[in-house]
Amino acid sequence: MNSHKTTLPERLILWLCKPRFAEEILGDLEEYRFRLNERNSKFKTLKYWYQSVLFIRLYALKSPFKRSNTQSMLNMNLKIAVRSLKREKFYSFINIFGLALGITTCLFIGMFIKDEMSYDQHWKNSDRIYRAAAHLKFMGNQFDMAVSPAPMWEAFEKDFPEIEEAARMRNLDNIILELDNKRMVKVASFAHADQEAFNIFQFTTLAGTLDLSEPNTVVVSESTAKQLYGVNESLDKTIKFYDQTYVIKGVYKDIPENSHFHYDMLGSMANWANSTNTEWGSNNFRTYFLLHEGVDYQVLYEKFKTVYPKYFGPMLAEHNDTSWEQFLESGSYVDYELQPLESIHLHSDLSYEIEPNGSFQYIILFGAAGLFVLIIACINFMNISTARSSTRAKEVGMRKVLGSRKSFLINQFMIESLLNAIVAALIATIAVYLLLPFFNQLTGKSLSNPYFGDLFLFPWAIGGTIIVGILAGIYPAFFLSSFKPLRVLKGELRLGVKSGWMRNTLVVVQFSASIILIFGAVVIGSQLKYIQSKSLGFSKDQVLILRNTYLMGDKVEAFKKEVKNQPSVINATTSSFLPTGSSRSDSPLLPKESTTVEEMVSLQIWGVDEDYIPTLDINLIDGRNFDQNLATDSNAVILNQAALDKFGFENPVGQQLKTLNGFQVWGMNEFKIIGVIDNFHFDSFKSNIDPMVLINVNSTGNIAIRYDAQQTTDLIAHLESLWSEFNANVPFEYTFMDQEFEAKYDSEQKLGTLFTIFSGLAIFIACLGLFGLAAFTTDQRKKELGIRKVLGASLPQLMVKQLSGYTKLLLVAVILSLPIGIYLMSGWLDNFAYRTGINFLMVVVPIMLVLFLAWFTVSIISYKAAVQNPVKNLKYE
Amino acid sequence: MKGSQLGEFEEIILLLIAVMQDDAYGLAIQERFQEQTGRSAAIGAVHSALNRLEEKGFVESQLAEATAERGGRRKRIFSMTLSGKNALQVSKDLRNNLWDQIPDYGFEGLKAVLLWR
C-alpha cells in the first residue's frame, strides 16, 4: 500500500458510496491523479475534484436502509401515516397544534436554562477558577458574603502551592468620569483590580495592553471606550474621577452577557487606599484563585482551616481582647469557602454579590413547568389515538390476517406519531424564531439564533422531537397493535372502551398538572401582590431620587435648599443610604457600659440628615428626630425596633453606645440614643429586617424628594434646570422610588409572568385534548343520545349525563394535585421571611377555573349533539 | 432485470470494451472514449454506464492486479458477455435494416428540403 494521505474526495466517496464500488472508483481516481501529475496538466486539483464529485451518483450511493424490503415497508408506512393525518384533519389539528405549543414552550425553557447554565464558562480555564466567599459567625452574628479580607490573596498564594494565581477586585459601582474636554461620562460598573486578575480571567485585548501594574492606570471595555474617545483613540488619554487622573492603557472586548460581572472599566489596585492593609477583620475584596491543574478544591478548602489561627488570632487579640481558642469556644467561627466560578451565577446567593444572580431553584421550577406542558401535549396524542382505535381496528385486523407481524404494526404507529411530532416541531421552530423578541423582553436576556448560535439547540431540538414522538406514540402503538384479528373482524371489540381506564388516568394526569401550574401562578401572583401592598414602614410612592449628588461637593446643602423651595416639593433629604438603593454600611456597636463582646450587635449604620425621617414617612415611636440646632446631636443616633430588641434597653432614649476597641464609626467612638423608629423594609422580603441605626452625619450620595403628585412634569423640568445651574457637566438622572422597589423583585416578577403563561398554555392544551376526546366519545354515543331523546330525556338531563363522567375525573385530579401543589408552593414561599399564607381562595380559584373551562369545553360538544334532531342520528342502520 | 435497450453512450462503451479486451477498465475506457469520439465524459459517467451494463447482463467483470499508480488498488476489468454481443448485433442489425430501407432518393430529398427552406 502506498502510504499517501487520504484526500477529502476519497473520504467523501468512502463515506457515501457502496463499498463494492469503492475499490475501483478510488483506484481509477488515484490513477487519474497520477496521470494528471505526469502530464503536468493545469488546474490539477480542480480537475481531480470535478471528477471525484461526479462519481457521487445515485447508482453508487449507499442505500440509507439496509434491506430494500424494510425500505419499502418504511415508505408505505410513511404514506399511510400521511394519509391518516390528512383524513382526520380535526384530530390531527388538535394533536399537532397541542404538540407544537408544548414543543415551543420547551424550546424556550431550554434556551433559558441553557443560557443560565452557561454563565462564566466562556473564560479560559473556567473550571480552575474559584472565588473565596466568607462564612463568618462573630458574637452571634452570622455573615455570608461574597467578599474576603485584603491580605488573603497574597497570604494564601504563599501558603498553598496548589494556587497558581490569585487576584482581587474591589468594585465601586456607578462612577462619573471627567474627560479631557470636561465632558462627563457615567460608568455603570467599575472595580479596582490587581494586575494578576488578567492572568486568571483571559480578557480579549482590542487595543493597547491590559496593564494595571502602575498606579493611576485604567483599562476600559470596548463600549466604554466608544463613549470616551473611541476604541483606538482612547489609548494614553486621561480621565479623572475622585480627584485623581488616570491614563487609559488598554481596551478589552466587552465581557459577555453570561458572566457574573460586567465591569466597564478596571483601575489599578494601587489607587485603592485599603488595598495594602493587613486587616483580616474587614471583608471588602472579591478574591479569585486560579488553581493548578488537577487540584481538588475541596481538599484545598479543608487545608485553609489550618492557617486561620495564624491570621485571625492577632486580629482578635487586638480588637476584642480574646484569643482564637476563646473565639471558637463562644461558638464563633471563620470559614472561607471556594466557589467554583461556573457555579456562582446559579448557586451563590450571598450578601454583596456583584450583580443579582440567577437561581437554581427557578431553573428547576421552569424545567418542571415546561415538562408538564409537554407531557400534557403528549397525552393528547395518546388519548385521541387510543380513543379512535375503533376506526383503525379493522385496518389492524386486516393487516394481521394478511401476515403482518406485530412489530411491523408497532413501527407503523410509531411512524405516525413521529410524523406528528416532526410537523409540530417544524411549526414550533418557526414560532420560536418569531417569538424570540418577546421572550427576550420577558426574561431580560438578549439571545439570538437559538438553533445554530451560541446556544446550539439544534441537536436538542432533533433529539427532543424524536423523544416526544416516541413518548406520545409508544402506548398507542402497543395498544393498537395488540388487537386480536379474529375478534376485531367479527366486530367483537367494543369501540375504544377497552383502553378507557388508561385514558381516564391520563386525563387525570393532564388536569392535575394544569391545576398545579395554575395554583403556582396564583400563589406567585399573591406573593407579588403582598410585597407590593405590604406596609413597608416607609412610603415609597411619590418619591423622586437624584443620584450622584456627591459630585456637587459642598454645594449639596444649597442645592437641597433650592429644591425644597420648589412649590410642588413637600420635603427633601440628602443621604447615601436609601431603602431601595444598594449602598449599605455595616458595623458592630455595644452598649457603653458593657464589658464583654458578647453584648455586641452588628448594625446597619446609615448617615442621614434631619429630613430623612419626615421625607420617607418613617414612623418615630419613641424620642425625637435629629435637630440641626442642637450641637449635642452630632453623635446622636436613632435605633430601629429590631436594633432595640437586640440591645434590650427598657428605656432606650438617653442610653449610650460605643464601638469596639480601636474601631471608629464615622469618626466617632460613642453615641447617644435620642429616638426609636418602626422597622422599615430596606432589604429583600426574603430576610428579616436587620437591626439598624440612623446617625446624623453628612452623606451626600443622593437626594430623595417627596413631591406633590399633581405637578410631576413641571417638577422634573424645574429640577433639571436647577441641576444644571449647580452641576452643569454631570448628566441629570432621576428615578422614582417605587420603580426602584419594583426592580428589586424583578426575578419574582418574571417568574410570575412566565408561570402565568405556562399555566395558561397547560390548561389550553389540556382543554384542546379534552375537546377532541369529548368530540370522539360523543360521536360514538350519537345513537344512544338519539334513543334517550326519543324516549323523552330533556336537554339538561342529557348534558348532565355527558358532563358527569368528566367531572368525576376532574375531581380526582383536584384531590391528587392539591397536596402536591400546596407542598411545592409553600416550599417556594419559605424563601421569604415576609410572606402571604396559602388561603382558601387561592385553592378554590384554580379549581373552579379548571372545572369551568373543562365543563365549557365538553359542553360545546355535548350541546351540539344533544340539540340535534334524533332522527338524524338514528336513521342510518 | 431492467430493460435490455442499449443507449447510445452505453453502446459505445460496450463497443470499446470489445475493442480493448483485457485492458477494459473504468479510467482506460473513459480515455479511449475521449480519444475516439472527441467528446469528454466524466469517469463517474463511465462507471455509471458500466454498472448499468453489468446489471443488464451485457458485461461481466473481474478484479485484476493492483498497480502502484493506483495507490495499490485493483482494477475492475470488464469483458463482454454473449448477451452483450447479441445486444450489439441487434442494434447493428436494426440500423443496417433501417439504412437498407432508405430509398435511393431519400438523401436527395433531404437536400432539396434543406435548400427549399
Nearest to B73 among A30, A51, A57 (CB): A30
Residue A777, min C-alpha distance to chain B (Å): 53
Cell of A134: 466568607
Question: For residue A3, is pLDDT > 50?
Answer: no
Name the residue of chain B whose CA is nearest to A61's CA: B48
Which residue in B has a C-alpha nearest to residue A54's C-alpha?
B44
User: Which residues in chain B have Cβ-Cβ distances shorter than 8 Å to A23?
Assistant: 63, 73-74, 76
Q: Residue A180 pLDDT more than 90?
A: no
10 Å CB burial of residue A617 (0-12, 13-18, 19+) is: middle
Q: Report the distance separating Cα A637 and Cα A647, nearest Å.
A: 14
Distance from the A32 Cα atom to the nearest Cα atom in chain B, whole angstroms: 7
DSSP letters for A275-286: GG---SS-EEEE
The confidence score (pLDDT) of residue A64 equals 57
B9-32 mean pLDDT? 87
- As given in the structure block, the three cell numbers for residue A322 are 480574646
pLDDT in tens, A225-265: 999 988 888 999 999 888 889 999 999 999 998 999 999 99
Q: Do B71 and A2 touch (CB under 8 A)?
A: yes
Strands A670-677 and A636-640, by their bridges, are parallel
- Residue A196, Ramachandran bin (φ over 0: left; ψ between -120 and 50: alpha; else beta): alpha
Contacts of A821 by beta carbon, 8 Å cutoff, 6+ apart = A515, A516, A519, A520
Residue B61 has pLDDT above 60, yes or no: yes
Does A17 lie at the interface with B, CB-CB under 8 angstroms? no
Residue A298 confidence (pLDDT): 92
A412, A418, A419, A424 alpha-carbon torsion, rounded to 10° = 160
- Structure pTM? 0.72
Which range among A154-158, A605-609, B32-36 has the greatest average pLDDT? A154-158
Q: Please, which residues 30-69 of chain B have a Cβ atom closer than 8 Å to chain A?
A: 42-45, 47-48, 51-52, 63, 66-69
pLDDT tens digits for A540-555? 888 988 887 877 777 8
- With beta carbons under 8 A apart, name residues in chain A contacting B70: 27-28, 30-31, 34
Determine the residue of chain B that is closest to A10 in CA distance: B71
Over residues A81-117, the pLDDT tens digits come to 888 888 888 888 888 999 999 999 999 998 989 999 9
Backbone angles phi, psi at A858, to 5 degrees: -65, -35
- Pick among A23, A24, A52, A61 to test the B interface (most B CBs inside 10 A): A24
Binned at pLDDT 50, 70 and 90, residue A205 comes out as: very high
Is residue A352 helix, strand or coil? coil
3-state secondary structure at position A747:
helix
Largest CA distance in chain A: 110
CA–CA min distance B41, chain A (Å): 9
Chain B residues with CB-CB distance to A21 below 8 A: 47, 51
CA A318/CA A278 separation, integer angstroms? 13
Residue A345 in contact with residue A260, Cβ under 8 Å? yes
Interface of B with A in 4-33 (CB under 8 A): 25-27
CA A684 to chain centre: 18
| Contact (Cβ atoms closer than 8 angstroms) between residue A513 and residue A817 | yes
pLDDT tens string A438-465: 988 888 888 888 888 777 888 888 898 9
**Element spanning A772, H or E:** helix A746-780
Q: Answer yes or no: is pLDDT of A1 > 50.
A: no
> A703 pLDDT exceeds 60?
yes
Are A376 and A766 within 8 A, CB to CB? yes
Contacts with B76 from chain A: Cβ below 8 Å: 23-24
> Do A26 and B45 lie within an 8 Å CB cutoff?
no
Widest Cα–Cα separation across chain B: 62
Q: Do A59 and B51 touch (CB under 8 A)?
A: yes
B73: contact with A, CB 8 A cutoff: yes
Give kind and range of the element (H or E) at residue A149.
strand A148-149
pLDDT band at A772 (very low <50, low <70, confident <90, very high): confident
According to the model, what pLDDT value does residue A2 have? 43
Q: pLDDT for A397-434, tens place per residue?
A: 888 888 888 888 888 888 888 998 999 999 999 999 99
- Across A222-329, the runs of DSSP E, i.e. the strands, are 238-241, 244-252, 265-268, 283-291
Nearest to A748, CA basis, from A552, A529, A549: A529
In terms of average pLDDT, the best of A395-404, A671-680, A860-869 is: A671-680
In A89-150, which ranges are continuous DSSP H helix? 89-117
Highest mean pLDDT among A37-41, A349-353, A852-856, A866-870: A852-856
Determine the straight-line distance between the first and last CA of chain B, rounded to whole angstroms. Answer: 46
Q: What is the DSSP string of A34-55?
A: HHHHHHT-TTHHHHHHHHHHTT
Q: Which residues contact A646 (CB under 8 A, 6 or more apart)?
A: A601, A691
Res. B109 pLDDT band, cuts 50 70 90? low
A16 and A56 in contact (C-beta within 8 Å)? Answer: yes
Q: What is the mean pLDDT of chain A?
A: 85
For residue B45, CA distances in Å to A52, A58, B26, B33 come to 11, 11, 10, 12
| C-alpha grid cell, residue A95 | 394533536
Which amino acid belongs to residue A620?
Answer: L
Residue written as cell 473565639?
A327
| Minimum mean pLDDT range among A5-19, A130-144, A429-443, A797-811 | A5-19
- Are A21 and B51 within 8 A, CB to CB? yes
Q: Looking at residue A68, what is its pLDDT?
A: 57
| Residue A719 half-sphere exposure toward CB, CA atoms < 13 A | 27
CA distances from A256 to A120, A202, A223, A228 (A): 9, 12, 12, 20
Enumerate the β-bridge partners of residue A208: A250
The more confident residue out of A261 and A282 is A261
DSSP E strands: which ranges in A273-427?
A: 283-291, 333-340
Nearest to A23 among B42, B43, B74 (CB): B74
pLDDT range class, residue A342, cuts 50, 70, 90? very high
Q: Give which of A470, A445, A459, A516 is closest to A107, Cα–Cα.
A: A459
Query: Which chain B residues have a beta carbon less than 8 Å from that of A12?
Result: none
Predicted complex ipTM = 0.77
